[in-house]
Amino acid sequence: MLHVDLDQFIAAVEVLRRPELAGKPIIVGGRGDPTERAVVSTASYEARVFGVGSGMPLRIAARKVPDAVILPVDAEAYLEASDAVMATLRAQPGAVVQVLGWDEAFVGVEAEDPEAYARQLQADVLERTQLHCSVGIGDTLIRAKNATDFGKPAGVFRLTTANWLDFMGDRPTKELWGVGSKISGRLAKLGINTVAELAAADPQTLVPEFGPKMGPWYNELGRGDGTSVVDDTPWVARGHSRETTFQQDLTEPDQVHDAVRGLTAQVLKDVAAEGRPVIGLTLKVRYAPFTTKTHARKIPETFDREDVLVRALDLAGAIEPGRPIRLLGLRAEMAMPDDARKGHTPTRGGW
DNA sequence: TCTGGGGTCCTAGGACCC
DNA sequence: TCTGGGGTCCTAGGACCC
């Protein structure tokens, strides 16, 4: 199967609208105001040279690149471009498409010559959308996903059982999909620093540290193994959440009350569009400077807008008084339809 | 240096039940 | 008085992804 990843997607879409930006360092994030609390969504390659990347505070990014063009996030424009890309992928012969985000998808296909298929796909995407993408080819989803990085930008690369360790073996475990800084740190404490070391580890030795499920799974990741099934089952959201980072920390109970009301209204609107009952609520609180707590409630049987608001405000009662609040988030968990992906476990690398 | 917003899944521990 | 073994549900927290 193939893994397709658009190159500097968001920045590329912005350049299509404003060709005069081509070749300039572009940073897209927040409302495009580097004095606000926000982070970088995407930086163009010209900006990345200065050490700017996704997730970096916008303020810092702006400081690193004095001449940067800083633009606000325009989700609708990116979604529109993304839809065009995904439609192009679905139009490829024999393709089963599993979308992973705005700029990423797996494409399942049986091809005589996978490289040629990938090149044709790239050409079609470029012709239809004027966007460049990189393509990874693999005999598992994990290998295809990691292969893409070797192909960037605008290239094609293939990883298989045979060459996986040749290319990935000496790399740090953090480069695996599903291993972040925390897990790689805990692996390091077990003497496991590289992909090859993780691949060679006894899965049972990982169980005490990571649990019966995740322990063996990390070992599998190290070997690049896992499913090779691309699943195009339409996505059914488990829930919806809204969160707000306040430019000035909240200190007054009235401010908190108003904020929770506002979040509840937004979340209920999102949920209403799905037409499924709310079965749980979670309130997320980030206190200044940076500690996060969550408070959850199950909601028995009823789905009533007023009921949800009452329960959300009830959750807000758990907020610690006197501590400045930097962020509030509210998540509503929805009942799943009976026929929704029984046994299917997508994302989070959870295959 | 100071950290968005939208998601998903896993684990641990306590409460409660038989 | 001390305490098995199995199960479910709920809450909190952690981790990761795009």
- Answer yes or no: is A322 within a domain: yes
Protein-proximal positions, strand C, CB < 7 A: 9-18
- Answer yes or no: is A1 within a domain: no
State whether A271 and A195 are in the same domain.
Answer: no
CB A344 within 8 A of CB A351: no
State whether A182 and A262 are in the same domain.
Answer: no
The distance (Å) linking the CA of A209 with the C1' of B12 is: 13
The distance (Å) linking the CA of A300 with the C1' of B18 is: 24
Q: Which of A75, A90, A112 is the last residue of a domain?
A: A75
Protein-proximal positions, strand B, CB < 7 A: 1-12
The 10 Å Cβ neighbour count of residue A110 is: 9
CATH, residue A191:
1.10.150.20
State whether A210 and A295 are in the same domain.
Answer: no
DSSP, res A172: B
CATH, residue A35:
3.40.1170.60
- Answer yes or no: is A141 within a domain: no
* Closest listed residue to residue A43, CA positions, set A73, A10, A66, A76: A10
State whether A178 and A270 are in the same domain.
Answer: no
Q: Which of A57, A75, A93 is the last residue of a domain?
A: A75
CATH, residue A320:
3.30.1490.100
Task: Give chain A's domain count.
Answer: 3
Nearest nt to the CA of A292 via C1' is C13
Buried b (16+ CB within 10 A) or exposed e, A127-136: eebebbbbbb
Q: Which of A75, A103, A129 is the last residue of a domain?
A: A75
Nearest nt to the CA of A341 via C1' is B8
Strand C contacting residues by CB (7 Å): A 55, 100-104, 145, 176-184, 280, 292-298, 318, 347-349
- Answer yes or no: is A348 within a domain: no
Strand B contacting residues by CB (7 Å): A 30, 37-39, 41, 54-57, 59-60, 210-215, 237-245, 270, 289-290, 326-327, 329, 331, 345-348, 350
Q: Which helix (DSSP H) or strand (DSSP E) does residue A29 occupy?
A: strand A26-29
- Answer yes or no: is A319 within a domain: yes
- Answer yes or no: is A152 within a domain: no
- Answer yes or no: is A4 within a domain: no
Single out the catalytic residue among A14, A20, A36, A104.
A104
- Answer yes or no: is A24 within a domain: yes
Nearest nt to the CA of A178 via C1' is C16
Q: What is the pLDDT of residue A339?
A: 62
Whether A76 is a known active-site residue: answer no
Q: What is the pLDDT of residue A301?
A: 67
Q: Which domain holds residue A317?
A: 239-341
State whether A179 and A266 are in the same domain.
Answer: no
Q: Tens digit of pLDDT per residue, chain A (351 long)?
A: 999 999 999 999 999 999 999 999 999 999 999 999 999 999 999 999 999 999 899 999 999 998 999 999 999 999 999 999 999 999 999 999 999 999 999 999 999 999 999 999 999 999 999 999 999 999 999 999 999 999 999 999 999 999 999 999 999 999 999 999 999 999 999 999 999 999 999 998 899 899 888 999 999 999 999 999 999 998 889 999 999 999 988 988 899 999 999 999 999 999 988 888 888 899 988 888 777 888 887 787 667 888 888 889 888 888 888 888 888 999 999 888 766 543 333 333 322
